[in-house]
């Protein structure tokens, strides 16, 4: 990791040039999930599944599972072209306060032809202590905390993409 800024005898432009030379990949963003659904009232387990096709070889850098108060489980995995699977994240006792990006220790390679699969589950029953609705009501996708979401964002680089930072 290069240090940019701080105390250095080098000029700011030298730091910028060094940083640009170190950047070889663009960081991309995508989401897998559903953005239109309704969770029925009094259902202790409502699930959705979604998938995203990998068109070019990539390396996953981070994943951001996202649900709100009714969330119970989020599972994301890669289904590889040879039909094997690779787990990407699994939270089986969701807590609203856990949402955020989780960075892999090493980038996770995914080949062209893989699928990123998602399973999200919610508990919209009276037995869910985190349910804000008493009695439970149907809950739709939405941006408020009392609405719901069910997706995972990914940050990734493309294996076949290299940025050119040579001086012009």
CA proximity to 74, closest of 44, 48, 105: 48
Q: Residue 20 domain-assigned?
A: no
Sites in the chain below the pLDDT cut of 70: 1-23, 165-168
Q: Residue 163 domain-assigned?
A: no
Q: Residue 29 domain-assigned?
A: no
Q: Residue 125 domain-assigned?
A: yes
Q: Residue 168 domain-assigned?
A: no
Q: How far apart are CA 33 and CA 89, in angstroms?
A: 14
Q: Residue 2 domain-assigned?
A: no
Question: Which CATH number covers residue 94?
Answer: 2.60.120.230
Q: Which domain holds residue 38?
A: 34-158
Domain count, the chain: 1
Query: What pLDDT, on a 0 to 100 scale, did the predictor assign at position 9?
Result: 43
Q: Residue 9 domain-assigned?
A: no
Cross-strand bridge partners of residue 141: 148
Q: pTM of whole model > 0.75?
A: yes
Q: Are 139 and 70 in contact (CB under 8 A)?
A: yes
Q: How far apart are CA 68 and CA 50, in angstroms?
A: 18
Integer-rounded Cα radius of gyration of the chain: 20
């Amino acid at each position: 990791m290069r240090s940019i800024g701080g105390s250095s005898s080098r000029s700011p432009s030298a730091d910028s040039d060094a940083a640009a030379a170190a950047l070889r990949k663009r960081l991309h963003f995508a989401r897998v999930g559903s953005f239109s659904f309704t969770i029925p009232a009094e259902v202790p387990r409502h699930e959705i599944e979604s998938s995203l096709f990998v068109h070019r070889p990539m390396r996953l850098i981070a994943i951001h599972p996202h649900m709100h108060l009714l969330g119970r489980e989020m599972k994301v995995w890669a289904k590889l072209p040879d039909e094997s699977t690779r787990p990407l994240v699994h939270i089986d006792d969701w807590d609203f306060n856990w949402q955020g990006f989780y960075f892999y220790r090493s980038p996770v390679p995914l080949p062209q032809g893989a699928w990123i699969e998602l399973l999200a589950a919610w508990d919209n029953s009276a037995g869910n202590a985190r349910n804000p609705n008493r009695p439970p009501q149907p809950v739709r996708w939405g941006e408020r905390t009392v609405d719901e979401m069910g997706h995972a964002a990914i940050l990734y680089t493309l294996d076949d993409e290299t940025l050119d930072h040579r001086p012009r």
